[in-house]
Structure 1
Amino acid sequence: MCLKLILSLSIAGLVSAAQIPGPEERIVGGHFIPIEYVPWQVSVQIFSNHKCGGVIYSDRAILTAAHCLRDVNITDLSVRAGSSHWSKGGQVLRVLNAIPHPKYLYSDYPYDIAVLILEAPLKLGGAVRKISLAEKTPEDGTITLVSGWGDTLENSSFPWPILHGVHETILNRMECQKIYSSLTKLTNDMICTHGPGRSACRGDSGGPLVEMETRKLIGIVSWGFRCGTAPGVYADVAFFRNWIKYTVQENI
């Protein structure tokens, strides 16, 4: 599906991945997109069931949200890449190691990012491709795309079988903080998106937020409140860029 068609499907959204107070996630207000349009997208699975989204950084390294690893046994984790369906097709590889950011606390939201090391390399090409990391935090108003297999309705608790995506714009952090002031404090490692009626939701956590102009990874789906009604909050990839590169280098 070409960019023109994707945009015509409306600037729809996938805001958060989880809801306060418990990060978890999926896409509200979006539309089906083929994996070929977002070939860096993967499904992170437990016992072959979709748990979270993930992003291909290299043939053996996947980025996801740290909260996706809560109470998870690494030996139960696998990744499916190269398919628009989380339950079939593409390539499935087991996870050898999972490294959450050392400052992440499972009772809180900051530093919600992790690296997964696969037991064998992905076969890159076609519908399986790595994505470049953003060098700087995106400016307010930047048009983005978030994708995943998360819920399409608040509290639906039903992993959507095919991949969805939606467009949102980067929201000024101060404006985002005003909205969440009574719930939590945003930290410098977070960025927000906004798109009324559009957002990530349960099951989308760990998935990619991509800048449309550069096609670079700018965020990892982290958390939000009431899918489609409040800003989505993401781990700022530029903030974590050095940690990502170092962690991958040290573990492969």
Structure 2
Amino acid sequence: MRRLVALPLALLACAVAAGPAAAAENRATPRIVNGTTIASTEAPWTVAIQIEQGSGVGSCSGTILDATHVLTAAHCVVDGSSVAPASGILLAAGTPDITTKAAQAQGRVVGVKTVRVHPGYRSSEIPDDVAVLTLEAPLDFSGPTIQPLPMVPTGTYVFSGTTTRVFGFGITATNRDDFGILRRLSTETVPASLCGTDAPGALLCTFRRGRAACSGDSGGTATAVVKGQRVLIGVTDIAASECSAGLNLYANVAAPEIRGFIDAAVQEQNVSADQLPVSPRGGTRVRINTTRPRVGRTVTCMRGSWSGSGSLSYRFQFQFTKSGRSTRATSLSRKKTYRLKSRDRGWKVGCVVRATNVGGSGAGVSATFRTVRSR
């Protein structure tokens, strides 16, 4: 697997240190660690994918979008600058187990006619890690074991703290070799900037120690309930080098940077990178401008470095941990200053900068929260 430099995360009790696999001969891609085995009817949209490229065979997961299109991760089908031939890709739908012939017989194995990769994807980088597979024959949705999953509406922001269910066929620990059983886990979204990415509008991040996607879950299904409906919010991309650390990154399907490609691919259209908007980049250097905040003083949220940021809005967040963890926050606004009040005494203050443009919306969070003192 590719690895990122480990970064200290203020709100997470871990560090980022990994990336998706690239080599076809040893494509270890994220799987479910400490997940629950489930029936196909609980996730009829998640499929197992096997890719033959060069001298190797890789294993991934994917999500059914409609009868002839499956969404997966670009790094599942790209080795360096080479895209796997469609003839070397098979997917299994409608079965929770592809490890035996009897189990495989419960579902349907389908070949692939066309492979489309996001034109902005680079194997040395994290964003835009999505691909759409056009199937040789349509899937049958007449039964409960094979069904499509709707995507979250374009531009819908998934807030930090959202409960997320992740589905995939991946391995159950970093060094295991047990790909092929469908599992799910529950985790929670956190600000993407805290997970070491400078593309917080194009990526989602989840963290729950001891529970995460791991190798083989790449391209799999991250979901949340939005307006009463379970929808696809992300495509599994990155796992920590030790999967049990509990951290994952996903391509954010609500971001126009990602969604523009997916929508075009489902319409059997090719798009160039120039035709797709790019979401804001940056957000990793947001900070409060003082080391000793005091009641009555004004603190300023320093925006950090952004490119293509469009409009910026600010929010001040407070944490209190002495008698159980409590949090609260001001509303997002264009105002980047806040006058500390008596009720803030003893709380730790930090801030969020949200950047929005036509490519998406992402937030940067201050890495350090400072304790508010008396006057």
Q: Out of 93, 111, 136, which is 2:110 matched to?
A: 93
**1:157 is aligned to 2:177:** yes
Note the C-alpha offset of 1:19. Answer: 3.8
1:215 alignment partner in structure 2:
230
Equivalent residue letter for 2:261: W
Note the C-alpha offset of 1:173. Answer: 2.1
**1:133 is aligned to 2:151:** yes
Distance, in Å, in 2 between the alignment partners of 1:164 and 1:155 is: 17
Does structure 1 conserve the Cα–Cα contact (< 8 Å) formed by 2:62 and 2:221? yes
Does structure 2 conserve the Cα–Cα contact (< 8 Å) formed by 1:137 and 1:218? no
Quick check: 213-222 or 109-118, which moved more?
213-222
Does structure 2 conserve the Cα–Cα contact (< 8 Å) formed by 1:157 and 1:202? no
Greater fraction strand? 2
> What SS class does the counterpart of residue 250 from structure 1 fall into?
coil
Q: 1:115 to 1:21 in 2, by over 3 A?
A: closer
Note the C-alpha offset of 1:53. Answer: 0.3
Tell me which of the two structures has the higher relative contact order, counting C-alpha pairs closer than 8 angstroms and 6 or more residues apart. 1
Q: Out of 195, 198, 207, which is 1:194 matched to?
A: 207
> What SS class does the counterpart of residue 146 from structure 2 fall into?
coil
Distance, in Å, in 1 between the alignment partners of 2:233 and 2:157 is: 7
**1:109 is aligned to 2:126:** yes
> What SS class does the counterpart of residue 174 from structure 1 fall into?
helix
Unaligned runs of 5+ in 2: 1-16, 23-28, 271-375
Using the aligned pairs only, state the percent identity. 34
> Number of residue pairs matched?
227
2:91 alignment partner in structure 1:
79
Give TM-score scaled by structure 2 length.
Answer: 0.57
Distance, in Å, in 1 between the alignment partners of 2:200 and 2:120 is: 13
Give TM-score scaled by structure 1 length.
Answer: 0.84
2:187 alignment partner in structure 1:
168
Residue by residue over 1:88-123, the C-alpha shift from the partner in whole angstroms, topping out at 9 and shown as x without a partner, is: 121111000110100001222110001000011001
Counterparts of 1:4-19 in structure 2, within 5 Å, are 19=18
Counterparts of 1:236-251 in structure 2, within 5 Å, are 236-239=252-255, 240-251=258-269
Q: 1:185 to 1:228 in 2, by over 3 A?
A: farther
Unaligned runs of 5+ in 1: 1-17, 178-183
Distance, in Å, in 2 between the alignment partners of 1:64 and 1:37 is: 19
Equivalent residue letter for 2:71: L
Q: Out of 44, 57, 60, which is 1:52 matched to?
A: 60
1:229 alignment partner in structure 2:
245
Quick check: 35-44 or 20-29, which moved more?
20-29
Structure with max Cα Rg? 2
Distance, in Å, in 2 between the alignment partners of 1:174 and 1:107 is: 19
Distance, in Å, in 2 between the alignment partners of 1:54 and 1:196 is: 24
- RMSD of the TM alignment (CA)? 2.0
Note the C-alpha offset of 1:147. Answer: 1.1
2:34 alignment partner in structure 1:
29
Note the C-alpha offset of 1:242. Answer: 2.9
Residue by residue over 1:209-238, the C-alpha shift from the partner in whole angstroms, topping out at 9 and shown as x without a partner, is: 010452100000001212020420000010
Greater fraction helix? 1
> What SS class does the counterpart of residue 166 from structure 1 fall into?
strand
**Structure 1 runs (4+) greater than 3 angstroms displaced:** 184-187
Note the C-alpha offset of 1:155. Answer: 1.7
